[in-house]
Amino acid sequence: MPDHNISRQCSADENIGSGKYPDAPELPVPLSGPLAWTRHDLRSSWGYTWHLSDRDISDIKHALDCFNALGIDGDCVSTETFPVGDLAHKLEKIAHNIHNGVGFSIIKGLHHLQCTTEDSVIVYLGLASYVADQRGIQDKRGNVLSHITSSKGWDVPVDKRHGIHSNKALPFHNDMGCDTLALQVRQSVDSGGDTYLASTWTVFNKLLKDEPDVARTLLDPSWPVQLSCRRTRHYLAPAFALHDGRLMACMDPNRFGPHENSPDGLIPALTSDQKHALQRVCEVARSTELRLKLETGCLLFLNNWALLHRRDAYQDDDRTCRHMVRLWLRNTQLGWAVPEPFLPPWQAAYSKGLRAKTRVYALYPMTTYVVPKYSAGSAAFIIEDSDDSEPER
């Protein structure tokens, strides 16, 4: 088992509990293990990229035929209904790499299948079921698949949409409340739109060494997180948390503080220390980031608690539209314990008691875009606006 160590400094740290830092969180010593990487540690992609062989493609085709013969719907895709033979062992290694290795893996070669959109989604769900056995819902309507795109069919201005529904650059963030983030590249673009990953552990180590005040700010449970429901519009939580021997992040710069349309005026504004901390996280992450050029057909799986991600702006041409399909996954055996302050969005995605009665697997983006009232997150948030209207699919 890889060494993932977080040891706390002794309580004699003179700054802790002082007047300058009342009730400030204790700081750990630097974090160690394979999750604490920089791009220079990952010069070769062999450790995180899996190229499907002809045998793998044959096994996937067989699994697809087996599933389709059952006559069941997408919510029934599982390791039992999508048998991939020896490929299962590779996918299980990916699961361990996500939770106990460098935190992410890429699968390449699925474009060789040349199947329909529906079958490509079944394949995506089938392979993902070996990486993680639980699929979370991503909005109040019960959508399990989320479409990361800027559809040419939407007439709503880009500035009125969620960040994932635009072609703008997105800052470093993670999908708040998600365990394993999965992306299927349905359509890439020739220019722009590259994905970047950074280790939260490495970022935090750098801040521990050079700017401990920033590290304390990130651990402090006073960050106002926007909610988009009718009654409660925010809660307080840390941006980073030390829990069960691990550092975990739940951070989206566009989710902290009040939205300009928030009606009650009760959401606290970010302090100058919090704004500075967000700036430093993004700056340090950029200095250590790994650039990924994801092509059509690629699958990306990443540890959403341990890695931050961002993307470049892009421009679609007249024929193509950049399009990724997102899953929020959890491996019930390998998944990390979630600290209490991070539970609200996590429970909404994965808790059986809070799941929508109907789980929806939309093959395409919504035909009519509904403008979010109070949310401006980089990634659409699980607790949705109170508008009762729902778009047609």
From first to last of the 393 residues of the chain, give the pLDDT tens digit: 344 443 333 332 332 222 233 456 788 889 999 999 999 999 777 789 999 999 999 999 999 999 999 999 999 999 999 999 999 999 999 999 999 999 999 999 999 999 999 999 999 999 999 999 999 998 888 899 999 999 999 999 988 888 899 999 999 999 998 999 999 999 998 789 999 999 999 999 999 999 999 999 999 999 999 876 555 578 899 999 999 989 999 999 988 988 776 666 678 899 999 999 999 999 999 999 999 989 999 999 999 999 999 999 999 988 889 999 999 999 999 999 999 999 988 998 998 765 556 899 999 999 999 887 766 667 765 555 544 433 333
The alpha carbon torsion through 164, 167, 168, 170 (nearest 10 deg) reads 40
Phi/psi region, residue 85 (left: phi>0; alpha: psi -120 to 50; beta: rest), is: left
Residue 37 contacts residue 102 (beta carbons within 8 Å): yes
pLDDT of residue 374: 61
Q: How many residues are given for the chain?
A: 393
Q: Is residue 272 part of a domain?
A: yes
| Residues spanned by the domain of 160 | 48-356
- CA-to-CA distance for 157 and 245, rounded, in angstroms? 44
Q: Look up tokens 């509990």; give the residue.
A: 17
Structure tokens at 375: 């949310």
Task: Output the furthest CA–CA distance in the chain (Å, rounded).
Answer: 68
Structure tokens at 339: 């600290």
Q: Is residue 66 part of a domain?
A: yes
- CA-to-CA distance for 314 and 130, rounded, in angstroms? 32
β-bridge pairing 240-243 and 246-249:
antiparallel
Beta strands in 175-298 (DSSP E): 180-187, 195-199, 223-226, 234-237, 240-243, 246-249, 290-292
- Report phi then psi at 59, rounded to 5: -65, -35
| pTM for the model | 0.89
Q: Is residue 109 part of a domain?
A: yes
Q: Is residue 43 part of a domain?
A: no
Question: Hey, which residues does 146 pair with through a beta bridge?
Answer: 326
Q: Is residue 139 part of a domain?
A: yes
Residue 188 contacts residue 231 (beta carbons within 8 Å): no
Residue type, 166: S
**Distant-in-sequence, close-in-space partners of 125: CB < 8 Å, separation ≥ 6:** 74, 77, 82, 135, 327, 361
Reduced to 3 states (helix: H, G, I; strand: E, B; else coil), residue 268 is: coil
- CA-to-CA distance for 390 and 355, rounded, in angstroms? 17
CATH of the domain at 63: 3.60.130.10
| Tally of domains within the chain | 1
213 class by beta-carbon count within 10 Å (0-12 exposed, 13-18 middle, 19+ buried) = middle
Would you tell me the crossing angle of helices 272-288 and 212-219 to the nearest 10 degrees? 110
pLDDT of residue 106: 97
pLDDT of residue 381: 59
**Distant-in-sequence, close-in-space partners of 20: CB < 8 Å, separation ≥ 6:** none
Q: Is residue 22 part of a domain?
A: no
Q: Is residue 15 part of a domain?
A: no
The stretches of the chain forming alpha helices (DSSP H) are 54-70, 87-100, 117-131, 200-210, 212-219, 272-288, 343-350
Q: Is residue 2 part of a domain?
A: no
pLDDT of residue 226: 83
